[in-house]
Amino acid sequence: MTAADSAAPLRIVIADDQASVREGLVVLLGGLPDIDVVGSAADGQQAIDLVAKYKPDAILLDLHMPVLDGIGATRRITAEQPDVAVVVLTTYADDSSVLDALHAGARSYLTKDADRADIARALHAAASGLTVFDPRVHSTLLAATAASRSAAESEPGGMAAAAHPDGLTDREVEILRLIVGGRTNPEIAADLYLSGHTVKTHINRIFAKTGSRDRAAAIGYAHRHGLG
């Protein structure tokens, strides 16, 4: 990649059924020198069409839209345009909305009280393969994880009796649970007294075994399989 390429603005599509919100986001984000808004959509199907047409780096979309909602649009986009990062920006931070979006393939999840800097940072991070949750969403994920773990432990024999899916080892499941809890690689290394290189190797194996391309996908996998 050349210096000119690295300096190119992030190309995004914005999707929200409320015209005032959509137009406001276009002006708000389009005014940043490192973001280029290439299209805006009023429903999920329009979002899919614009992503197919412009091949942006990322899409910022709401969950509740007509024709096709944000979950359906996310699922389609991640299947048909896997290089496009999906960042959810919505009013809803309940556990079902968050988990459904992550399961569908969203890389980041923000609520609409996020400011312009937070949104821009999440878009850039998602386009780089990273995951960003705002504090409300992170709290929701931690609560859902605790509830899932409590339910698993209440089953006869507890979690220890269950075989791990897809050949995951006990250590890999332990690290996956720490990822779900929002721990970074250095924090995981410190928690488990491992080197950073060893943690990275374990995480790469987790991604390979679970078919996850990033931490958000791994978190979705963990919740689907009761490992969160």
* pLDDT values of the chain reduced to their tens digit, one per residue, 228 residues: 444 445 799 999 999 999 999 999 999 999 999 999 999 999 999 999 999 999 999 999 999 999 999 999 999 998 899 889 999 998 877 767 877 888 788 888 898 888 999 999 999 988 987 777 777 776 666 565 555 555 555 555 544 445 788 888 888 899 999 999 888 999 998 888 888 888 888 888 888 888 888 888 888 888 888 887
Q: What is the pLDDT of residue 160?
A: 45
Pairwise CA distance, residues 95 & 124, whole Å: 25
Place of tokens 């007509």: 66
Give the distance between the most distant pair of CA atoms in the chain.
Answer: 59
Q: What is the pLDDT of residue 105?
A: 84
User: Any residues with CB less than 8 A from the CB of 65 and at least 6 apart, and which?
Assistant: 15, 16, 17, 42, 43, 44, 47, 73
Place of tokens 């679970």: 210
Cα dihedral sign, 184-1-14-36: positive
Do the beta carbons of residue 116 and residue 28 sit within 8 Å? yes
User: Any residues with CB less than 8 A from the CB of 84 and at least 6 apart, and which?
Assistant: 51, 55, 56, 57, 58, 59, 77, 78
Identity of the residue numbered 110: L
Cα dihedral sign, 215-218-224-226: negative
Q: What is the pLDDT of residue 146?
A: 57
Domain 3-134 = CATH 3.40.50.2300: yes
Pairwise CA distance, residues 40 & 89, whole Å: 14
In CATH, what class is 163-224? mainly alpha
Q: What is the DSSP string of 178-210?
A: HHHTT--HHHHHHHHT--HHHHHHHHHHHHHHH
41 forms beta bridges with: 15
* Domain boundaries defined on the chain: 3-134, 163-224
